[in-house]
Structures are given as structure tokens and as C-alpha cells.
Amino acid sequence: MEKMKKLLYIFSIILFAACSKTLEEVPIDRLSEENFYQTAQDAETAVNAIYAPFRELGYYGGFYMLLTEACSDYANGRGSFGPVSEYNGLDGANIGRAETIWRFAYQSILRANIVLERVPAINMDENKKNQILAEARFLRALAYFDLVRNWGGVPLRQSSNDPTDLPRSTEQEVYDFIIADLNTGIANLPAVATIPGRPTVGAAKTLLAYVYLTLANWEQARNLAKEVMDEGTYQLVPVSTVNDFEKVFGADVVTSAEDIFSFKYSSSGGLGFQYLVYIHGENTLYAPFGFRTIYARETFPLIANWSDRDLRKEFNLYDSYIHRSTGALVQLPGNEPYQFRKFKDLASVAVDASANDMPVLRYADVLLIYAEAANQLEGGPSAEAYEALNKVKRRAYGVDVNTPNPQVDWAGLNQQSFRDAVFQERAYEFMVEGKRWNDLKRLGRDQVRAVIQSAKGKAISDSHFLWPIPKVEMDNNNALNPSDQNPGY
């Protein structure tokens, strides 16, 4: 039943996207923007449409993770993604992918703006209306959070009627806008999602905590994460074997106790999660085809030092596989020895038929945000910060998360070494979930350069820290000058 709800929800996104074109006149016999926003169902369908650009291959469906993961210290890009791992800025092919991410982010923002403008006039239940408006703000905030971290200040489009010519706002202005949207979400979103994949007050608090963590506002990040922890709505899914992680990431999972917000995919109707095709070897059982777009090496410190006792290691990495057509054992190349196994769907039969979901926020985020922020704010790790960090590590080692375990737990750390431990846990916990590169950037450019130099022997150019503003934006937005372009482009 829950799988059917998820599929119907995704289909409603596609339906609205196909028929919500702006028309000059109001037709009597077919749908138009002018006569669409009349009922509560129209409002629901309109907010559902905001999700469609996020779910595209060119955004959370694949390219956003691939571009950021190829910059991490545990993965390299391969093929046309290979230049990303040279850290010399983006080349032509990857500039095109970044431009696609920008386009889809602004499509979602436009659709959110339309919801915020049109839905208030609909005669419907006021509580439900406020939830829909808060949902639009949450999604708009997420899109701007992606934009500001990867491009810096961007044009802040707050209305569907904004002019094409709009200058870059400062990073702080964009962050202030994100914070305002999320505070509205906290005030109006439901405590429990009506359908898996819809944001809740817990999702808004977690995303806002993540925003504050990025801004090094430790107090706000700590307090919001603590609120989510104390509410008790979410918890880590217990794990005792490697395969137990399928209860979190498996293709059959609709939601879980630790799923705070994720983008939903389905094996039906061409609505699958295409990321799998890019992270797996050719014709594995895990996904059809397979491009091996990113891979790991044993020389990368996070891979080399990863304990075999950590169940996440076997769950995430493989160096050989069974060929789905021949049944033969295939060994990955010696210079590209590991692929990433976290997302897999053994029942998938096509590129666009994998049913895994893309997690954006999990309860592990909450615990690790709290641990880092509390440590930074309080001048060192408290017992509560240790407990939050160690819950994540205990789960990874297959032991009870609520029972102290001297054989597993972090202990005896100062402020800096504790933060290092948090970053290590974040790397292992969120591997191939698109978070590592922006996590590293929070350390400051000098530290990022030191990490990548140590891991890969690569120097990072200034142009690699921010992606180029798309050419179409530079050409058509007369409020932008050549000096507004990011360095190196």
C-alpha cells in the first residue's frame, strides 16, 4: 500500500509538470495556469510538481552527487567525470552538468514561487494550506542551499514575476532567505509526513541545523539538532549484520525510522533512481549496465584506514562482482579497485527502473550535527556530544546504539580530535550521498587543500571551489557583469 502511495505521488508530479504551461488565454476545455489553482487538489498537485526537477538525473537523480563525490577524498571521477578529480576547475562537459543542476534548482524555485503566489487565494482548509505553503518554502530553501554552497551568492528569485535582470545577492543574503523559509516551515509543517517523502517540522529543523552548521553558528545548530533528538520522532535503524543496512537504503524500503527527508523513486514508469547506473561496474547484479563513474582506491586514507569491523565498509565497497549475463566473476581493475555498493536494486531491469530513494536528511545527520556543533560551541566534547557521535559508530559496528561499548566508542579526545572524529564518521556514514565535498569546504580552503594533497597528491585551484555561473545566465541577465562570474571562468 505504501509503495502504491509513493508511485501515485510521483506520477502526480509528472502529470502536473506536463500540463502546467502558461497560456495567453483561458481555454474552456483544457487545463491552464489561469484556471488551474481552484481547489485543494490543485494546490496539492502544484506543490508535488516542485519535486520533479530535484528528482531528475541532472540533479539529485545522479549528477549532483557525482560532481561532488568526484571531489571527495575517498573517490575519483572516471571517464568524462575524470577531470573533476584533477581539481583544476570544471571542464566543458562538467560545466554543462553544473549548468543543468543550476537550471533544475531554479525550476524548482520557480514552481515554489508560483505555489506561494497562487495557493493563498484557494478556498481550502487553512491548516492544510499553510502546510502546503511551508512545504514550498522548505523545497525552495533546499534548492537555494545547494546553489549558495556551490556557486556562492546567486540571483535571489523570490517571485515568478521577478525580472530576468537580477543581480547576484550576497551569500549572507541568500542564507538569510533560506533561514526565513525554514523558520516558516518549522511553524507550519506537520509533525509526521502524510506521505513518505514529504517534509515535516523535523525535516525543517534538521535542514536549518545543517545550514547553521555550514555558517559555523554552533549554538543554533546544536539547539535545533537537540530539539529533533528530544522529540523522539526518529531513531537509527538497528544493524547487526552488513545486510541490515538494506533496511535503510534498500530498493524495497518506502521509509524508515531514520528517514527524515528523501527523494522518492520507483521501479515503474521510468521513474527510477538512475544514480545506480553510474556508481556500479558493468553489468553487475546491483544495477543494469554500469559506467563506473566514480571509484575508490586503497591508497586514499579513509579507505586504507577503514576498519574491517565497521559493517559500513563491506556494505559500501566491492572489488569484484558477478556478471549479470554470464555469471562470471569480474575483478575490478587494479588502478580502479573499488566501486560503491550502498545503493543497489537486484530487481532493476533498466537504467530508469531502480527503486532506491535518495536520502537527503537522516537521523544520523541530526546526531552528527549535534556532536560537532556542541563540541565547537562548548570548547570540547561533552558526555552528550560523545553519546551522539558514538551512537552512529556503534550502529556501524553492529552493537546496541544505546549501550556504551569501550571496544567501539570514541573517548579521550580534545576539541580538535573530536571534530576530526565527527568528520571521519560523516565520511563513512554518508559515503556517496553527496555531502563530503561541501563538508570539507566548511573547514576552509587551506584545510581542504591539505586534505586533498594528503589523500591524492593533488593541488586545488581557486576555480575549483565554486562552479561557474551558466553562460545562458551571464548572457541573458543584464544585471550581471563579467566581473560577477566566479574565479577562473
pLDDT tens string 270-300: 999 999 999 999 999 999 999 999 999 999 9
Residue 399: the pLDDT is 98
Instruction: Give the pLDDT of residue 15.
Output: 47
Q: Are the C-beta atoms of residues 439 and 423 closer than 8 Å to each other? A: yes
User: Which three-class secondary structure string do you get for the chain?
Assistant: CHHHHHHHHHHHHHHHHHHCCCCCCCCCCCCCHHHHCCCHHHHHHHHHHCHHHHHCCCCCCCHHHHHHHCCCCCCEECHHHHHHHHCCCCCHHHHHHHHHHHHHHHHHHHHHHHHHHHHHHCCCCHHHHHHHHHHHHHHHHHHHHHHHHHHCCCECCCCCCCCCCCCECCHHHHHHHHHHHHHHHHHHCCCCCCCCCCCCHHHHHHHHHHHHHHCCCHHHHHHHHHHHHHHCCCCCCCCCCHHHHHHHHCCCCCCCCCEEEEECCCCCCCCCCCHHHHHCCCCCCCCCCCCCCEEECCCCHHHHCCCCCCHHHHHHEECEEECCCCCCEEECCCCCCEEECCCCCCCCCCCCCCCCCEEEEEHHHHHHHHHHHHHHHHCCCCHHHHHHHHHHHHHHCCCCCCCCCCCCCCCCCCHHHHHHHHHHHHHHHCCCCCCHHHHHHCCCHHHHHHHHHHHHCCCCCHHHCCCCCCHHHHHHCCCCCHHHCCCCC
What is the Cα–Cα distance from 390 to 401, expressed in whole angstroms? Answer: 8
What CATH code would you report for 2-189+466-484?
A: 1.25.40.390
Read off the pTM. 0.95
- Closest Cα to residue 280, out of 354, 335, 223, 225? 354
pLDDT for the residue 7: 54
Do 426 and 369 touch, CB atoms closer than 8 A?
no
pLDDT at 98: 98
Q: At what angle do helices 2-19 and 40-49 cross, to 10 degrees?
A: 90
Q: Where in the chain is the domain with CATH 1.25.40.390?
A: 2-189+466-484
> Quick one: angle between helices 415-429 and 383-396, nearest 10?
30
Residue numbers of the chain with a pLDDT score lower than 50: 1-2, 5, 11, 13-31
Cα-based angle 269, 275, 280 (whole degrees, multiple of 5): 115
First CA to last CA distance, the chain: 50
Contacts of residue 163, defined as CB under 8 A and 6 or more positions apart, other chains included, come to none
Give pLDDT, residue 33.
Answer: 65
CA 108/CA 114 separation, integer angstroms: 10
Residue 88 has a pLDDT of 98
